[in-house]
């Protein structure tokens, strides 16, 4: 980004916005109140905000855009919770409820490893009747079968659930998971870290304080986590910016976040959208809101949390390419089996191949690189496709039949929940 381009962009921007952006370029990290003043900018001000974020991204993260080859294994869709935004979960009485055995999860992990995956992500519903040691046993079994795989597993909600079922503290439970082979936690179940908002969209779910306890404890134990925010439902601009400021504060305290991932609310199949149970609910963020949120995230978090990830599942690859010019430097993972956003109505697929992700990165004028879960580079590729050999996952024939889908899993008589768990 040339100085002339940035300077000419600032010429048409309102003075208060211009002053704040110039301060950010000089090293200032905006307060949540200052960031909220940028949340609704449009026209030249939005363009200048994106350019500022892109300049900071270049300084903080460089021109490389990363991705990880991974597989999501959502081992059950049966859940005791009834979150208003979740279309993935089923009750234990549902004919679509499933529960994968430990043996089946191991098989899927090995299948992923054999096509080049370096990570498996294990997350699922909170199944009634689940033994408190199940998460630990599952971790140990997968790690024993595939020690080279990084296990990115169990949201703070699941850690809380497991510790309660096992009747031990969160710290003790995390220690047991780490000893079994857990590598990192997904920082999901965050939504908006404000209990009033959480009570509206997911009453009874893990509280802000409990989420923070799990995250801080994990970091203290040397277990890194991601950080997330789901936006575009009932939250205000101030709620979003306070959420970002809270994440920044934790990172300064612990240094344990590997990345921040903004997640647009997908409304199409969300129960609270269909049932009109939440007043003021919006059908996800607008494109302008997404652009502004990504850019603001770079301004607020970039000096603390270097990596800003775009979820191609939520935004689609075209929008993801554009967001690489608004502060982002990572495209997430291949996923192989994405179920949760897909069940909510996301229409961007359940998997991507490495070559597809590299093509999107090159289209944005950036340098593609494969990383591991902790953002250590494994392979850096040419900025242009000069006839590079395809990856094993690119060559996987008939991926839908081989790896399956959420729709096929819920329709199948295999892995029925009522056959796996005694109530």
Categorize the per-residue pLDDT at 423 as very low, low, confident or very high, splitting at 50, 70 and 90.
Answer: very low
Q: What is the DSSP string of 372-384?
A: -TT--EEEE--SS
Beta strands in 14-58 (DSSP E): none
- What percent of the chain lies above the pLDDT cut of 70? 93
The answer to which of 94-108, 230-244, 277-291 has the lowest mean pLDDT is: 94-108
Q: Is the pLDDT of residue 406 over 80?
A: no
Categorize the per-residue pLDDT at 337 as very low, low, confident or very high, splitting at 50, 70 and 90.
Answer: confident
pLDDT (0 to 100) of residue 271: 87
The answer to which of 177-186, 264-273, 344-353, 390-399 has the lowest mean pLDDT is: 344-353
Instruction: Show the domains of the chain with their CATH numbers.
Output: 3-57 (no CATH), 62-88+102-401 (3.20.20.70)
Q: Which helix (H) or strand (E) holds 65?
A: strand 64-68
Question: For residues 125 and 139, what is the distance between their CA atoms, to the nearest angstrom?
Answer: 16
- CA 388 from centre of chain: 29
Q: Which two tokens stand for residue 353?
A: 């191949």
Query: Would you call 171 helix, strand, or coil by DSSP?
Result: helix
- CA 396 from centre of chain: 25
Q: What is the pLDDT of residues 144-174, one digit of tens each?
A: 999 999 999 999 999 999 999 999 999 999 9
Q: Is the pLDDT of residue 248 over 50?
A: yes
Q: What is the pLDDT of residues 3-38, one digit of tens each?
A: 557 777 788 898 999 999 999 999 999 999 999 999
Q: What is the pLDDT of residues 214-227, one digit of tens each?
A: 999 999 999 999 99
Length of the chain: 423
Q: What is the DSSP string of 194-261?
A: -HHHHHHHSTTSPPHHHHHHHHHHHHHTT--EEEEEEESSS--HHHHHHHHHHHHHHHHHH--EEEEE
Question: Considering the chain, what is the average pLDDT of its residues?
Answer: 91
Categorize the per-residue pLDDT at 316 as very low, low, confident or very high, splitting at 50, 70 and 90.
Answer: very high
pLDDT (0 to 100) of residue 422: 47
Average pLDDT over residues 263-284: 91
pLDDT (0 to 100) of residue 348: 57
Q: Which two tokens stand for residue 351?
A: 């998997």
Q: Which helix (H) or strand (E) holds 67?
A: strand 64-68
Q: Which two tokens stand for residue 219?
A: 């970091």
pLDDT (0 to 100) of residue 2: 45
- What percent of the chain lies above the pLDDT cut of 90? 76
Q: Closest Cα partner for 342 from 69, 74, 75? A: 74
More confident position, 328 or 415: 328
């Amino acid at each position: 980004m040339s100085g002339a381009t940035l300077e000419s962009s600032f010429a048409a921007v309102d003075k208060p916005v211009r002053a704040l952006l110039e301060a950010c370029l000089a090293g200032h990290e905006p307060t949540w109140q200052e960031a909220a003043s940028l949340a609704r900018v449009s026209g030249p001000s939005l363009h200048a905000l994106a350019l500022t974020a892109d300049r900071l991204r270049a300084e903080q993260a460089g021109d490389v855009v990363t991705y990880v080859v991974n597989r999501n294994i959502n081992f059950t869709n049966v859940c005791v919770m009834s979150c208003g935004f979740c279309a993935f979960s089923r009750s234990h009485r549902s004919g679509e409820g499933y529960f994968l055995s430990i043996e089946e999860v191991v098989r899927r992990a090995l299948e992923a490893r054999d096509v080049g995956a370096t990570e498996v992500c294990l997350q699922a519903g909170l199944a009634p009747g689940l033994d408190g040691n199940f998460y630990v046993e599952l971790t140990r079994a997968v790690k024993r079968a595939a020690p080279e795989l990084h296990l990115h597993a169990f949201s703070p909600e699941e850690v809380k659930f497991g510790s309660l079922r096992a009747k031990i503290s969160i710290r003790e439970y995390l220690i047991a998971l780490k000893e079994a082979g857990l590598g990192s936690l997904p920082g999901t179940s965050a939504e908006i870290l404000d209990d009033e908002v959480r009570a509206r969209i997911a009453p009874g779910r893990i509280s802000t304080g409990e989420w923070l306890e799990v995250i801080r404890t994990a970091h203290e134990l040397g277990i890194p986590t991601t950080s997330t925010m789901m936006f575009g439902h009932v939250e205000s601009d101030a709620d979003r910016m306070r959420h970002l400021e809270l994440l920044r504060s934790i990172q300064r305290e612990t240094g344990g976040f590997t990345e921040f991932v903004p997640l647009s609310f997908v409304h199409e199949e969300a129960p609270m959208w269909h049932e009109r149970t939440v007043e003021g609910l919006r059908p996800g963020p607008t494109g302008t809101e997404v652009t502004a949120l990504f850019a603001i995230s770079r301004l607020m978090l970039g000096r603390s949390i270097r990596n800003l990830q775009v979820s191609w599942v939520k935004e689609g690859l075209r929008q993801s390419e554009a967001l690489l010019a608004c502060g982002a430097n990572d495209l997430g993972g291949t996923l192989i089996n994405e179920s949760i956003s897909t069940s909510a109505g996301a229409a961007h697929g359940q998997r991507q191949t490495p070559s597809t992700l590299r093509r999107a990165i090159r289209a944005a004028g950036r340098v593609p690189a494969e990383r591991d879960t902790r953002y250590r580079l494994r392979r850096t590729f040419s900025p242009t496709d000069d006839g590079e050999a395809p990856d094993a996952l690119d060559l996987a024939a008939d991926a839908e039949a081989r790896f399956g889908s959420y729709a096929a899993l819920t329709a199948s008589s295999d892995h029925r929940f009522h056959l796996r768990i005694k109530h």
